[in-house]
Amino acid sequence: MSKTNITSTISKTITLIIVMCLTLVACNSVPKSEPLPTQVPAPQLIDLDPSENDTNITATSDVYYETDKFYLLIDEGVTCPSDIATTINVIMDELEELSKLSFYPDSIPTPEDGVAEIKEPWSQVIEDKDKVCIHFKAEENTIRKGETTANCVTIFAPFYNTNEYGLSVIAHELTHLLIFRNAKVNSLVMLEGIAEVYGDKACLAIDGFPICYESYEYGTGIIQESVTAFNSRDLFTSEFTSSPNKKAVYQYGTAFVTFLFETYGEDWLVRYIGAIEINDIHSPEDIALELEDIFEKDVFEKFAVWYQDNFERFRYQDYGDDDIVLALM
């Protein structure tokens, strides 16, 4: 082959390679078509004004209701009383009246439990991120009935029904939210005790619903003999973490908060929340020291004596039928 032919062949080969490379680059530069993200339908605004012929509503899709105080978010498939928004308003008003605290204080601290992220589909309709959200979830939870952060209460099926137990669950979680929006740190005993006592006091505002403390679901009088003037403070700071009775922290907390309310007046909670927000609080021991400073140095010893005189008030009383009522106040 002549030198001219070899040169021509090499030139053609190089040209072909360049063309192939340019074609490959061009093909790779064409944007690939990707599936568009599925748009979750926005929840629909509903009217929850109760009527004589409509005692319950069942959500056929994700729906919501808004008041000045809260958003009510209802999952598809949830059935709840048509007057549920009215009931929640009453509970929230009662909690503010009883506690002397506000769901909307001048500044909302970020508690250890944090703030819930508003997710789809609710992020499409919630414009005021600081407004309280109450979410009725269609899914059940085998571990808990509800959970709460500083901006959202979640109630798992079926505890949004306003029988005496479901009502207590809602009020209990709303009390948690009220405290979270006023204090960033608390002890487990105080947190659960306040929610038990104030939540069920609020329930008394609803005619026909007796107090129904969560604390006594798993037995009565379990901590009766264990609270003494010598160990009541240690029990408080231990938060019953080693106790086989998982409700002991609720039982101690319920009795202790009742004692504080009755002994130191209705404004005890405002004094307590104010003190723990001003001072550097990090642990149950810090909380115990604060309680001794706010009230009396021997507050735990006095509680132990008070409890031994009052523990019968914290038992379920059976009146011979299916109704269970707690004799408290």
pLDDT digits (tens, 9 = 90+) for 139-184: 999 988 999 998 999 999 999 987 777 888 999 999 999 999 999 8
What pLDDT does 305 receive? 94
Angle at 150 between CA 117 and CA 56, to 5 degrees: 80
Q: What is the largest CA-CA distance in the chain?
A: 119
Cα–chain center distance at 130:
15
Q: What is the per-residue pLDDT for 323?
A: 38
pLDDT at 184: 82
**3 state DSSP class of 103:** coil
| pLDDT for 245 | 75
User: Which pTM does this prediction carry?
Assistant: 0.82
Q: Check residue 40 and report its DSSP letter.
A: P
How far apart are the C-alpha atoms of 297 and 233, rounded to whole Å?
A: 11
Answer yes or no: are the C-beta atoms of 237 and 256 closer than 8 Å.
no
- CA distances 291 to 231, 236, 256, 285, Å, are 16, 11, 11, 10
Name the residue among 99, 68, 97 with its Cα closest to residue 85.
68
- Give 42's DSSP letter: P
* Residue numbers in the chain where pLDDT is lower than 70: 1-38, 50-54, 111-114, 207-225, 315-329
Nearest to 202 by CA among 117, 278, 275, 99: 99
- Predicted local confidence at residue 260, as pLDDT: 97
Residues 62-89 as b/e (b if ≥16 CB within 10 A, e otherwise) read bbbbbeebbbbbbbeebebbbbbbebbe
